[in-house]
Amino acid sequence: MRIIGGSFGTRGKVKIGSHGVHIKASREAVYPPGTLVSVSTRREKERHFAFLTFLLGLLFLGTIGFLILGPLGLLIALVLCIVGSFYGKTSYLVDMQFKDGQHLTLETTQRQADQLVQLK
């Protein structure tokens, strides 16, 4: 699990086990079991543009489109490659609040987020 925000900085890692929560960031800390006040999760979707996929698709589809329909085929291939090169990435974010007022935001997988909610 990767730290992306909170009282311990914006970079680092977290290990969670029977010993509690061990934070390795710009400031290190160990929280024993029972010091966790709240855990909340949220899912965020981000859209990205795959530039390499766009170029390869344009080369392939553009060639075929140009051979079949001429300049119009190239234009159609360009539009299809632009639209087809967007993809979505889902991130699971977990916010943790401790008894001493410190908080932590983690980027996790869905499975890890579910486990952290059960930890509380």
63 and 40 fall within a common domain: no
Roughly how many angstroms between the first and final C-alpha of the chain, as a whole number? Answer: 17
**Could you give the number of structural domains in the chain?**
2
77 and 112 fall within a common domain: no
80 and 96 fall within a common domain: no
**Residue listed under structure tokens 């932590």:** 104
Chain centre distance of CA 85: 18
Q: What is the CATH number of the domain that holds 16?
A: 2.30.29
Structural domain of 72: 51-84
36 and 57 fall within a common domain: no
Tens digit of each residue's pLDDT (9 = 90 or more) over 25-84: 888 888 888 888 888 889 888 888 889 989 999 999 999 999 999 999 999 999 999 988
pLDDT band at 120 (very low <50, low <70, confident <90, very high): low
Tell me the C-alpha distance between 107 and 35, whole Å. Answer: 21
21 and 80 fall within a common domain: no
